[in-house]
Amino acid sequence: MNRLGNSGIEVRPLMLGGNVFGWTIDEARSFQVLDGFAEGGFNFIDTADIYSRWVPGHPGGESETIIGRWMKQRGNRKQMIVATKSGFDMGDGKKGLSRKYILQAADASLQRLQTDYIDLYQSHTEDPETPLEETLGAYAELMRAGKVRAIGASNYSARRLEEALETSARLKLPRYESLQPQYNLYDREKYEKELEPICLRHGLGVIPYYGLASGFLTGKYRSAADASKSARGQGIVSKYLNDRGLRILAALDEVAKQYRATPAAVALAWLIARPGITAPIASATTVDQLKELFKAVELKLDAAAIEKLNRASA
């Protein structure tokens, strides 16, 4: 079990990404994936109020609503650890991290999730227009009311994260117990150079998103022709399909063959082995995909395998 900072929340080292619920899979298939996740012995789910507002006709909150209905139907709220986020623009001026909006957004998320508490409530993005003491003070109110157990930050710069932690200590306000950064075998530099030292020094839990680099590290995008296989393919190929990306895929293939695993499982196992990582976030649209993700938790890469991946992705 891994701990989320000093929050007392302990989780197994894999988090299910809820961004696909109500977007690339409908409610029925989302329920199948959630059932498979719970049956596999896992319980840590990530979502956000803005999922999936980018879909035409979606106001946002679709993912939270599906997760809420699933927990209600299964009667398993106490067994699940739910992390959600707010701060991005939901339209009609609903955005940011002001006290007024945080209290409003939290209540809206609680309603959609059909629960009276959020395990981990995260600032989805920085809000330079709102003082940190106002944001953290609002979280303190939510925690006193029993609506939130712990708080975290997502997409924070190193400077803003340090400022937030200092503000919490100085004013005796709740502190961010976790960070949700973009981090994977390809996207390493920003997290490792700037954010990892802060997280290790302060004992923050780290739950990286895009652990599979939007699917590139599964190995299914190896040529421009592969881009036509999905709506996101073109963007993935243009960002990752280069000499370094191909070098990483080759190393993943070698290690996967050695361990009789998939490149996806190896890429997540590499993340799990990194210092300070609590649980990488990974999404699945089928139960079969989910089972491949589970293998990452059991995979214990040796030092030689980790070094091979480190060199390839340096």
**Enzyme catalytic residues:** 51
Distances (CA, A) of 130 to 40, 73, 102, 136, 141: 41, 38, 11, 10, 17
- Name the token pair of 90: 């939901």
Question: Which of 66, 71, 63, 61 minimizes the C-alpha distance to 106?
Answer: 61
Q: At what angle do helices 303-313 and 243-259 cross, to 10 degrees?
A: 170
Q: Which stretches of the chain are DSSP H helices?
A: 27-39, 62-74, 99-113, 132-144, 158-171, 189-190, 196-202, 233-240, 243-259, 263-273, 287-298, 303-313
Q: How many residues does the chain have?
A: 314
Distances (CA, A) of 201 to 5, 26, 196: 11, 41, 8
Cis check: omega of the bond before 52, within 30 degrees of 0: yes
Task: Say how many CA atoms lie within 13 Å of 74 toward its Cβ.
Answer: 18
Helices and strands counted in the chain (H then E) = 12, 10
For residues 175 and 4, is the Cβ–Cβ distance under 8 A?
no
Q: Which residues pair with 151 in a beta bridge?
A: 121, 176
DSSP state of 45: E
Give the three-class secondary structure for 118.
Answer: strand
3-state SS track over 179-195: EECECCCCCCHHHHHHH
CB hemisphere CA count around 13 (13 angstroms): 22
